[in-house]
Structure 1
Amino acid sequence: MREPFFLGDINSAPLSSKPLLARAQAKRSMVPNLELAMASVPALLAAYTSLVEFFEATSLTAQERQIVFLAASRENDCSYCSAWHAVLTQRSGLSSDDVDLLQQGTAIPDPKLDVLRRFYVALIRQRGNVTDSDLTDFLALGWTREQALEVIIGIGAKTLKAC
């Protein structure tokens, strides 16, 4: 049996992780276990929280970012992350029916949001080597080349999350 990573708390965390954990506590009224596990390596926690903050600062809306994270959770077959991001995606204003479709990896009715989902999936499955058609479809529905690159920040955050 694999031994789990240590999940301490803010008090037992290394000194340089404490401000990041305190910020997570203030933002969410709790500190996710993932961040507690990362706290034992302050550089990892800093990298992860920075990527999430950078992703939040992109031109993508909260709903669009959650669609990326939910699609990522599905692609990575992480039921815990899928459940969490399903809640956040619904809170961002997407209907529960559309959230269910996203969790199934199925097209959603809004073509612009669906091409965002498909573009993310193409980036992951093709390891960044999207086809001209993938990019053309993405751009044709009003997304920009800059936003295509912004999606990569979301990929980075989900990669550090490992699910």
Structure 2
Amino acid sequence: MQPEIRLVTADDAVAAAWCHLLCWREAYADLVPADLLLARTSDIDRRTERWTTPLGAGRERWIALNPDPAAPVEERVIGFAGTGPGRDEDSPVPFELEAIYTRQAFWRTGLGGRLLDVAVGKQPAFLWVFEANTRARAFYERHGFEPDGAGKYDPYFDLHEIRLVRR
């Protein structure tokens, strides 16, 4: 059974917040020191609040639901994507993929590609990815994104990011 992908609602906030934190733990386990990663992914209340805060004009969040209806709240949402108008002063294209994640159990199942198709489609877009995240970079490159030479430092996870663009 395929996971359903739909726009997030206020009722999804807790499950989406759990997905967000658990995705970070899984995706960044080899990139961020364990103690820092645990510290950055332990505040479910703060993350839930972020999922209940209004997004603003033109921004959307999509979620992928676990096909198992008996899944506990921590497993109900298994992926998500966030999009909106480009937030960079020098946005190379007007549309930004702000986030896209799937739980590790769903890596290489096509779910990430489905989320990307629903949230972005074929339109030009840009995103930021940790430079050392080779798995994510390979995913984006398969979908037509390439580095444009821009970079920045992310103090939250203490990692360098690069910007990828699909024109």
With structure 1 as the length reference, what TM-score do the two structures score?
0.29
Q: Structure 1 or 2: larger strand share?
A: 2
Higher alpha-carbon Rg: 1
